[in-house]
Structure 1
């Protein structure tokens, strides 16, 4: 008779003299001789052992929590929001009648979240939606020490922010795991400060990988899904494995009630590591490698057209003339199947794989062209800043209050423009420019039917003394005409 006990998360087989740990194996009970019949080894005598400690009869996450929890902190952020003034208060008549009565005062917004300490000198990671735009940030450690913090890098797209604690030293640190090694079904713990009740630990498993195309927090990207309970206030906290290592930064939940429904999302640690590395280099914004394409996930219909047995990969739909993928031999219509051997099945997943390698890294792309499978090496580079942006601010011409830049690959990446966009992009629109209907992100194509190829062209065309204006723009892929008279 064999007896089984759970010992610290491992399975002990009493009587065989074997100890099977997670990922391990038991000794063979018999051997097979080459060219001979199997010979049975006599079973070991059955013995009974009395558990000698509590750890031998109980399963506990306490050792993991003791290791990871000191490196998880709480964040309290405050931002002052200017209320939109009532336009009547600027009117000469109504302004005299009402004076300052009824004017909207600035409002204070408070945000609660969590953070993870990744460096003993006070570098912590949290979510952009927790600290983005904050005027005052306080970070409280598990031992109740409190520090003021400054955001040193913020990235809305990934919903990550890196902060530096003022005057911090010798802080507890959490190690980062390779998030590519986790699997669905792995045990994980979520550590954070939900609802401001204090540090809380919840357990669960990795429910799914490669969740992409979902808008989570402030970002849209690639997430680990978990059923560990995550609630408001957990944002920016740690998702850790059974070795106490960080596998992700908790960022959002799917819920109808406002509470946890067991569907939470975390940003993988491999991307967190790259964001922290760029913050250490002095960058204030996260720089992603530029590939200069738009892609589309291969669905069942496309898979049939490409002759694929399964829907997989990302088909290149459009490509910038200076795209490094083009220089590496790829072209429109190719299907990218994997990055460094890791399958990619959405544009977000592909961008995550490249971003986690960082600028200057080198990856191997596997792709399909027709019925031919190929691969190529790609060196990851930043988007080029040529031609020069030549930012212009219009102060005394027809579109007064307009700030615009010449489009180049860096501008395309920064404003998420169409890969083949060219001309001039609107950076800011105030005063007459706003009244004309222009918005930040608009691409100016022509002014009074004259093409706009650079910010210098725009300045020249706006010097026309005409009172009637026609501006052609591209907004979210749609062409529009703005007509107005001065």
Structure 2
């Protein structure tokens, strides 16, 4: 009897547990369904996010700065007329590759064909009279220049006249023809730029006018070579700069022009995060001369200089505290020669300002007007000498010519020829001592260890007597350099 009662109670408890589990499952299914409906409702009706106040303020600043400077940023279209030779007859000569071809050239001389090419760039108005600052390479050899102001329905196209150019700094000034009073950009002080500051680039990449990109100042660079042009000072930025941006302004968050966009480093032809701008202070240095004279009037010493490496410092006994720059050549009749400068001098001061690298001397002479007498301190034969030199105006030099008779110098990895000025480097073997030291094909070796080298025999003898350290004096195109080589 007791067993039956216990069994009935046990059955009731089992049924109660089953009912409880069933109710829990139903509740979970209901809750899951309601959550799903709720999340679905939130997904279809996104809510507007309110960013922190500093973010809104920064965004407003970018917008305001861009709107303020846009009227002063212009698009520049430059048309060039290029000539190329073409045969006077349009069919292939039946005598091609035959001696008769030369004979028929006297009766059918080559003709000149002309074609037009167009480049697009940017610029910034710096004077209400219509003076526009841009890059020299944007309008280089241009026969016709058009300047577009505004965009959309507000676009106006003007004729531009090239007022002045300075290939050395890659800066040019254009004058917009017309009597209008033009909007002007505010020029800042690029000497105050700090790495990490905001940078805003505005221009016409690929002809897309008034394109704004934002980044930061990535670095400040010196002596950068880009597309066969050498720049003494550049601002590096990651603000997108593309073809067509050249000549446009790089501005700070206060709306001041801090640089003129000039180029990019790229393996693909497109922007990869490394862009450059010429510091606006560099442009300011030449603006007055370009507007007034059409060119930059610079002081000139008439010498070739190079940086002093540790090896060269040892060869010339230059102390670490007074490194300076090495005079590798003095042009005949130049202000430097007249003032007493000699090849092998180490310039350590220019008008009482310390000279530590070639760019220091280039800037110092460039800022000094021709005709002024300057004080130049040099180290010569372990002694300091003070020279008084009257600066002249800049000029160029001429290239050398070569002559035959080869010899191989296996120890250095060089193949040489006799030359009217010394010996010509015909070939430099890959991985050789000469290649690692910086000797290049086309170099003319004039001296070894300060002794003249007139031919290959002199060269071989000088190398044998040199021991482990060899000091080469080399002419390279219009330049001249010293190269120190240590033999293992």
What range describes the TM-score normalised by the shorter chain of this pair? Answer: 0.5 to 0.7
Deviations 1:225-271 (A, max 9, x none): 22221100001111223332222211111111111112222222233
Determine if contact 1:271/1:355 at 8 Å carries over to the other structure. Answer: no
Structure 2 residue aligned with 1:85: 86
Offset, 1:324: 4.9
1:107 lines up with 2:107 in the alignment: no
Deviations 1:392-426 (A, max 9, x none): xxxxxxxxxxxxxxxxxxxxx443458xxxxxxxx
Q: Structure 1 residues 310, 182: CA separation in 2 closer, same or farther (over 3 Å shift)?
A: farther
Q: TM-score, normalised by structure 1?
A: 0.58
Deviations 1:443-462 (A, max 9, x none): xxxxxxxxxxxxxxxxxxxx
SS of equivalent to 1:275:
helix
Q: Structure 1 residues 475, 216: CA separation in 2 closer, same or farther (over 3 Å shift)?
A: closer
Q: Structure 1 residues 56, 212: CA separation in 2 closer, same or farther (over 3 Å shift)?
A: closer
Structure 2 residue aligned with 1:148: 159
1:249 lines up with 2:260 in the alignment: yes
SS of equivalent to 2:127:
coil
Match of 2:269 among 237, 252, 258: 258
CA distance, structure 1, for counterparts of residue 392 and residue 196 of structure 2: 37
CA distance, structure 1, for counterparts of residue 356 and residue 81 of structure 2: 41
Q: Structure 1 residues 330, 130: CA separation in 2 closer, same or farther (over 3 Å shift)?
A: same
Q: Structure 1 residues 199, 367: CA separation in 2 closer, same or farther (over 3 Å shift)?
A: farther
1:301 lines up with 2:335 in the alignment: no
Offset, 1:325: 5.5
Deviations 1:166-216 (A, max 9, x none): 014321222333333333333322221111122112222333334315144
CA distance, structure 2, for counterparts of residue 104 and residue 322 of structure 1: 40
Q: Structure 1 residues 303, 134: CA separation in 2 closer, same or farther (over 3 Å shift)?
A: same
Match of 2:396 among 410, 415, 420: 415
Q: Which deviates more from structure 2 when the two are superposed, residues 256-265 or residues 205-214? A: 205-214
Determine if contact 1:129/1:217 at 8 Å carries over to the other structure. Answer: no
SS of equivalent to 1:201:
strand
SS of equivalent to 1:68:
helix
| Superposed CA RMSD | 4.4
1:292 lines up with 2:302 in the alignment: yes
1:205 lines up with 2:216 in the alignment: yes
Structure 2 residue aligned with 1:13: none
- Bigger-Rg structure (1/2): 2
Structure 2 residue aligned with 1:239: 250
Determine if contact 2:251/2:258 at 8 Å carries over to the other structure. Answer: yes
Structure 1 residue aligned with 2:326: 315
Q: Structure 1 residues 121, 207: CA separation in 2 closer, same or farther (over 3 Å shift)?
A: same
Offset, 1:358: 5.4
Structure 2 residue aligned with 1:432: none
Determine if contact 1:298/1:345 at 8 Å carries over to the other structure. Answer: no
**What does residue range 46-445 of structure 1 map to in structure 2 within 5 Å?**
60-86=61-87, 88=89, 106-142=114-150, 144-216=155-227, 220-281=231-292, 283-305=293-315, 306-309=317-320, 313-320=324-331, 324=335, 332-336=343-347, 346-348=357-359, 350-356=361-367, 381-383=391-393, 413-417=394-398
Q: TM-score, normalised by structure 2?
A: 0.58
CA distance, structure 1, for counterparts of residue 125 and residue 159 of structure 2: 14
SS of equivalent to 1:233:
coil
Determine if contact 1:204/1:228 at 8 Å carries over to the other structure. Answer: yes
Any unmatched runs of 5+ in structure 2?
1-51, 94-100, 400-474, 480-488
Deviations 1:73-128 (A, max 9, x none): 11111222233221557999989x99xxx988532211110011111101112122
Which one has a larger percent helix, Structure 1 or Structure 2?
A: 2
CA distance, structure 1, for counterparts of residue 396 and residue 382 of structure 2: 36
Q: Which deviates more from structure 2 when the two are superposed, residues 217-226 or residues 68-77? A: 217-226
Q: Structure 1 residues 196, 56: CA separation in 2 closer, same or farther (over 3 Å shift)?
A: closer
Any unmatched runs of 5+ in structure 1?
1-50, 384-412, 419-473, 479-486
Determine if contact 1:137/1:149 at 8 Å carries over to the other structure. Answer: yes
SS of equivalent to 1:208:
strand
Question: For this pair of structures, how many residues does the alignment match?
Answer: 341
SS of equivalent to 1:172:
coil
Q: Structure 1 residues 169, 372: CA separation in 2 closer, same or farther (over 3 Å shift)?
A: farther
Determine if contact 1:77/1:137 at 8 Å carries over to the other structure. Answer: yes
Offset, 1:342: 8.1
CA distance, structure 2, for counterparts of residue 70 and residue 342 of structure 1: 42
CA distance, structure 2, for counterparts of residue 232 and residue 243 of structure 1: 26
SS of equivalent to 1:65:
helix
Q: Structure 1 residues 58, 146: CA separation in 2 closer, same or farther (over 3 Å shift)?
A: closer
SS of equivalent to 1:279:
helix
SS of equivalent to 2:268:
coil
SS of equivalent to 2:242:
coil
CA distance, structure 2, for counterparts of residue 207 and residue 336 of structure 1: 32
Q: Structure 1 residues 188, 54: CA separation in 2 closer, same or farther (over 3 Å shift)?
A: closer
SS of equivalent to 1:169:
coil
CA distance, structure 1, for counterparts of residue 388 and residue 213 of structure 2: 42
Determine if contact 1:123/1:163 at 8 Å carries over to the other structure. Answer: yes
Structure 2 residue aligned with 1:5: none
Offset, 1:58: 5.8
CA distance, structure 2, for counterparts of residue 247 and residue 341 of structure 1: 30
SS of equivalent to 1:118:
strand
Q: Structure 1 residues 362, 112: CA separation in 2 closer, same or farther (over 3 Å shift)?
A: farther
Determine if contact 2:348/2:355 at 8 Å carries over to the other structure. Answer: yes
Structure 2 residue aligned with 1:45: none
